[in-house]
Amino acid sequence: MPIYEYACRACGHRFEHLLLPAAKTAPACPGCGSGDLEKLMSGFALSTRDLTKSRVKAARTQFAQSKSTKDKQIAEAEYVQHHMEDHVPPPLKPKKK
């Protein structure tokens, strides 16, 4: 059973699709549901240390730049700020002599 790589022309999402012999329907983008796909050229499985490092770096960059990651970071910062305001006592004022 071959695995094909596709890129969605509507949203740009790239994904893999396992083509089952009994499948009657064409694949659709898991991101937006569009059927307007471009079949990509796939290479055979190859793994080297340099290739793995570059793939991990690209995946981390894509994850860090994703909207959901940025939203989570903003929400966490707001939560910490709110928590600090509610639970940290104000600084002590120096005593007058």
Delineate the domains of the chain, giving CATH numbers in brackets. 1-43 (2.20.28), 46-87 (no CATH)
Instruction: Determine contact, residues 28/13, Cβ cutoff 8 Å.
Output: no
- pTM recorded for the entire structure: 0.43
CA distances 92 to 37, 84, 88, 89, Å, are 63, 16, 12, 9
* pLDDT of 78: 92
Residue range 19-28: average pLDDT? Answer: 84
Judged by DSSP in three states, 87 sits in helix
Tens of pLDDT, residue by residue over 58-74, are 999 998 888 888 899 99
* Helix ranges, 1-97 (H): 49-64, 67-87
Cα–chain center distance at 9? 19
The whole-number pLDDT of residue 50 equals 87
Q: How far apart are the C-alpha atoms of 89 and 25, rounded to whole Å?
A: 62
